[in-house]
Chains A and B, each alone.
Chain A
């Protein structure tokens, strides 16, 4: 297939543009390939770009480290900040469009599903959501679910650009920035994007009257760690790949089922009893429960359970992040 892809990469299809091709926020997934990226059989061109090809002016690791002993070598944290800054500069270009999307998409979803379908659900099953309307039930589910989707996108194509298509990570590695800083800086950027999207979502949800408690502000960090619980692992996996081919399979077989069956659109008590314990295995379910606890103000009703959700998500985020660091290091050192 790469025979199809002999042309230089698009001038402006850098990571800033790549991920924004997907749903910029909000669950954009429709059935049958609602996500353009998910159907991508012929991806944006790979590393044939000027200066990015093998031998195209990339110093090898040895060269990188020969230059590493220089005055003013930044600390690990400062290096990660540089990586973050790099993404921030790229994002400036896509900023307006993506912010618009992160505002409009949740508004459309809340309108159609929360109000339109919700009207019918509320009339037919008034007691199904323990005293809240379907809109109030749905909003935190969508918030956590779209944080997951956003995190998956942000840890897929940017990693491909970094390690394969344009080798931006290799270029960073040729400076005093190390693999750990590259991975951590990338994850920090993802966290920042998630926070931005979640904040916009929270504002929209508030306008719809979908939030019940001032604790809803905690829904923003809850959505961020939900996303991060997926970002590290996904980034770690993509760091081992030469093409994004497996991405669509992961999206369809893992992400979409998680999105639909983790208590996002309906309580898992609607599932057959035998399936309900499986929800515990879904990281998204923990994220949805946590986010919902925040927006409904029930976070402190069962503090132990809340702590379990937090622990699961943070554990996954840290574990996935560590794997991501390891795989980026291996790939760059190879």
Chain B
């Protein structure tokens, strides 16, 4: 989508309460009629969004320990659950039905969960305060950046952070011998894809939120995902009916994808997982961009 003409000018003075749901041609948001500069601006959306990533880097430069510590949290879980509890669990059924040590079973799930939770934390809680209370985005719109740059930039930042975690975590579990295939290197982009999907949907959801109390709702979704997506025990533990439901949840898709890669059992179903996450993220991003147009350009 073309990021188009200056958003500052876009909310034309005339129509008061802002855009209707559908046709907001004056908004530079969408559509071929977005104005003469549409094409010129469109191609630069990603480089301009980079400024937002840079901004976030600056914000974190004094609190970089937050980012570093985020890398250790899954490691604590890996040692505690994977090894501590794993001694009592022994081997479990991995992808393809082969038994694998419990730590090797849990590690990819922790990578996936970390990617999802990290992206959601960034795209919901932090995003909300920037959107509603700190008015960070309103300030940004006073620069040449457009709404779409914000959406892409924020998501890009969340993914940058998630990517660093994924690389670090993969390096550690590879050293620990919890990875049994060179395909595991693909688990890093897979984790990013999951982060993209979760972050985009999280941002879309956040754009509808009105008070911090609505964040309780996010936990309502993420906690069951965290616990029941074949993260801590094989999906075969469930009865058939439950299994089908779990199969359709996003974290399960991510866990199955990443676990398949780290264990080295891949098949055509991997493409289904990828397609699922791509579609989910695209829908989330599309909703976010539309919502931000409405919220910010009113």
Contact = CB atoms under 8 A, between A and B. Distances in A.
Contacts of A108: 223-224, 227-228
B120 to A, nearest CB: 8
Given A36-B125, A40-B126, A105 B223 contact: yes
Interface string A33-68: 111111111111100000000000000000000000
A265 B85 contact: yes
A42 B74 contact: no
B213 A97 contact: yes
Contacts of A119: 233, 237
A13 B65 contact: no
Interface stretch (B108-116, B260-268, B286-294): B108-116
B213 A20 contact: yes
Nearest to B58: A1
Nearest to A252: B69
Contact of B80 (A9, A21, A98, A265): A265
B66 A249 contact: yes
B90 A44 contact: no
Contact of A31 (B74, B120, B233): B74
Nearest to B225: A30
Contacts of B227: 108-109, 111-113
Interface stretch (B44-52, B132-140, B176-184): B132-140
A245 interface: yes
A74 interface: no
B69 A260 contact: no
Interface string B116-127: 111011101110
Interface string B242-272: 0000000000000000000000000000000
**Interface SS of B by simple majority:** helix
B81 to A, nearest CB: 6
A257 B113 CA distance: 18
A117 interface: yes
A13 B69 CA distance: 27
Taking each of B60, B124, B126, B134, which has the highest tally of chain A beta carbons within 10 Å of its own beta carbon? B134
Nearest to B227: A112
B105 to A, nearest CB: 11
A28 B130 CA distance: 24
- A interface, size bucket: 35 or more
A107 B64 CA distance: 35
A319 interface: no
Given A33-B117, A116-B233, A39 B66 contact: yes
Given A36-B124, A101-B219, A252 B73 contact: yes
A260 B218 CA distance: 24
B201 to A, nearest CB: 15
A42 B126 contact: yes
A42 B134 contact: yes
A20 B113 contact: no
B66 A36 contact: no
A119 B92 CA distance: 12
Interface in A263-307: 265-266, 270-271
A121 B89 CA distance: 5
A34 B62 contact: no
A41 B84 contact: no
A124 to B, nearest CB: 5
A10 interface: yes
B228 to A, nearest CB: 6
Contacts of A101: 216, 219
A17 interface: yes
27 contacts: A1-B63, A4-B59, A4-B134, A9-B133, A17-B213, A20-B213, A31-B77, A32-B117, A33-B117, A34-B117, A36-B120, A36-B121, A36-B125, A39-B121, A42-B59, A44-B133, A105-B223, A119-B237, A121-B85, A124-B88, A249-B66, A252-B73, A256-B73, A256-B77, A260-B77, A260-B80, A260-B81
Given A13-B212, A124-B88, A265-B85, 6 more contacts: A10-B212, A17-B213, A32-B117, A39-B122, A248-B66, A249-B69
Interface of B: 59-60, 62-63, 65-66, 69-70, 72-74, 76-77, 79-81, 84-85, 87-90, 92, 110, 113-118, 120-122, 124-126, 129-130, 132-136, 165, 211-213, 215-216, 218-220, 222-224, 226-228, 232-233, 237-238
